[in-house]
Amino acid sequence: MITVEQTREIAEKIAQMGVDESALSALRQEYPGVHFTYCMDDDLPNNEPVLERDDFNIYLVDGRDHCLCLTNNHDVATGIVVAEIIPD
């Protein structure tokens, strides 16, 4: 489970550190039970982020039953996808 508050905290930290692999590495150390993935937002078409920022969106991952899928349900979330937005 990843709480709404944790999601907001993580978004604030990313906004301060920037959207890159080093930021995710720091978050992995701070939140050892959460799986973090980094990608471009256009790699996730037709999906609704749980949190939107100007430079990135956050999506939740449900990793139950050994099959990963995106979810908007914080109660079943096991990971976070940080999706960078590249301006047009």
Give the list of residues 6+ apart from residue 29 with CB closer than 8 angstroms, or none. Answer: none
Evaluate if residue 39 carries a pLDDT over 80: yes
pLDDT at 88: 75
- Kindly compute the dihedral angle of the four CA atoms of residues 55, 34, 47, 24, in this order, to the nearest 10 degrees: 30
Split into its structural domains, the chain has a count of: 1
Q: Is 46 left (phi over 0), alpha (psi -120 to 50) or beta?
A: left
Look at residue 67 and tell me whether its pLDDT is greater than 90: no
In the chain, pLDDT over 90 holds for what percent of residues? 90
For 16-32, write each residue's pLDDT tens digit.
999 999 999 999 999 99
Q: How far apart are CA 4 and CA 15, in angstroms?
A: 17
pTM of the model: 0.93
- Could you list the residue range(s) of the whole structural domain that residue 77 is in? 4-84
